[in-house]
């Protein structure tokens, strides 16, 4: 299945997009510390039956990295405006990690535009903030470190490979999962001017994100939701009751812990993830 890449101007920024396939549109939103390269195992499989669209989020990869606009309501608007440019009336939406936060906000702000939602290995920011204790703070140290103005950028500059190696080793069931050319691809992405600052800006929007989430905490997501997570990730599946967490957000919910898997299910267990996605997307007709 051939794929194409391009940039579009939407919501005031240039967004870099990888696309493949024809059919009902499915948008894939990557997380940290990744780019849309994270979906390389899903795109060709899903593209056999769907039009698959994988943008780099604001601040990441080849998309623009402005100084502002990283609250999840505005990042969800990035996707809404991308849909407008691509003339997509409705989508199925898949988000991992930070992308799941954008996807969740999108599903609440634009309920008529999303047919079904998949969230992967993500504890919503509001829940992390509400439940934080010593054990959670230990695992979510990077949430706090990334909030510090300027210092992370200064410490990481020229050491992007060390910073990323920590996450890819610590966050995977098999620490060698992201290695070789895949690891080098991510290092190059985060060595680009503004890339580390863009990722930090995403985290630095946490307070605004929590305020948005608290304002409509009693509003459930109206479309069907599937929550997947790595059963062996110390900061998600081993730390939170994920089925209970996501039952606060959706009534029409299915949940799957993926065994022998850490934070990056789509890269660690792509065959399992692809089957779950295809089963859940079955019946989606634009």
User: Catalytic residues, which ones?
Assistant: 97, 203, 263
Summarize pLDDT for 240-250 with one digit per residue, the tens: 999 999 999 99
Question: 3-281 belongs to which CATH class?
Answer: alpha beta
- Give the confidence band of 155 by pLDDT, cuts at 50, 70, 90: very high
Summarize pLDDT for 15-61 with one digit per residue, the tens: 999 999 999 999 999 999 999 999 999 999 999 999 999 999 999 99
Tokens of 181: 């050319």
Q: What is the mean pLDDT of residues 176-194?
A: 98
Question: Chain centroid to CA 84: how far?
Answer: 21
3-state secondary structure the chain: CCEEEEEEEECCEEEEEEEECCCCEEEEECCCCCCHHHHCCCHHHHCCCCEEEEECCCCCCCCCCCCCCCCHHHHHHHHHHHHHHHCCCCEEEEEECHHHHHHHHHHHHCHHHEEEEEEECCCCHHHHHHHCCHHHHHHCHHHHHCCCCCHHHHHHCCCHHHHHHHHHHHCCCCCCCCCHHHHHHHHHHHHCCCHHHHHHHHHHCHHHHHHHHHHCCCCCECCCEEEEEECCCCCCCCCCCHHHHHHCCECCEEEEEECCCCCCHHHHCHHHHHHHHHHHHCCCCC
Q: What is the mean pLDDT of residues 154-183?
A: 98
Domain locations along the chain = 3-281
pLDDT at 210 over 80: yes
State the Cα–Cα distance between residues 220 and 222, nearest whole angstrom.
6
- Give the confidence band of 2 by pLDDT, cuts at 50, 70, 90: confident
Q: What pLDDT was estimated at residue 145?
A: 96
Over the chain, what is the mean pLDDT? 97
**Burial readout 44-78 (b: 16 or more C-beta within 10 A, e: otherwise):** bbbbebbbbbbbbbbbbbbbbbeeebbbbbbbbbb
Rounded (10°) angle between helices 72-86 and 206-215 = 80
Q: How large a percentage of the chain has pLDDT more than 70?
A: 100
Q: What pLDDT was estimated at residue 1?
A: 67
Q: What is the mean pLDDT of residues 267-271?
A: 98
Summarize pLDDT for 69-100 with one digit per residue, the tens: 999 999 999 999 999 999 999 999 999 999 99
Q: What is the mean pLDDT of residues 145-165?
A: 97
Q: What pLDDT was estimated at residue 286?
A: 80
State the Cα–Cα distance between residues 275 and 223, nearest whole angstrom.
20
Q: Are 94 and 103 in contact (CB under 8 A)?
A: yes
């Amino acid at each position: 299945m051939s794929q194409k890449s391009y940039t579009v101007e939407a919501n005031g920024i240039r967004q870099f997009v990888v696309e493949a396939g024809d059919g009902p549109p499915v948008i894939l939103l990557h997380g940290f510390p990744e780019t849309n390269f994270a979906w390389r195992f899903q795109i060709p499989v899903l593209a056999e039956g769907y039009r698959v669209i994988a943008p780099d989020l604001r601040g990441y990869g080849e998309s623009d990295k402005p100084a502002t606009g990283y609250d999840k309501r505005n990042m969800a608007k990035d996707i809404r405006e991308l849909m407008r440019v691509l003339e997509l009336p409705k989508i199925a939406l898949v988000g991992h990690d930070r992308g799941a936060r954008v996807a969740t906000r999108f599903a609440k702000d634009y309920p008529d535009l999303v047919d079904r939602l998949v969230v992967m290995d993500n504890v919503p920011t509001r829940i992390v903030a509400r439940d934080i204790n010593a054990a959670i703070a230990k695992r979510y140290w990077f949430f706090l470190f990334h909030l510090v103005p300027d210092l992370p950028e200064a410490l990481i500059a020229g050491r992007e490979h060390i910073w990323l190696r920590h996450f890819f080793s610590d966050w995977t069931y098999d620490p060698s999962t992201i290695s070789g050319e895949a690891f080098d691809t991510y290092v190059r992405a985060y060595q680009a001017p503004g890339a580390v600052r863009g990722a930090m800006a995403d985290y630095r929007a946490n307070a605004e994100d929590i305020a948005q989430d608290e304002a409509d905490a009693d509003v459930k997501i109206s479309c069907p939701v599937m929550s997947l997570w790595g059963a062996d990730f110390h900061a998600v599946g081993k730390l939170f009751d994920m089925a209970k967490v996501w039952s606060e957000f959706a009534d029409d919910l299915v949940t799957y812990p993926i065994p022998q898997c850490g934070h990056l299910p789509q890269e660690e267990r792509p065959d399992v993830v692809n089957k779950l996605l295809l089963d859940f997307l079955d019946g989606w007709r634009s």
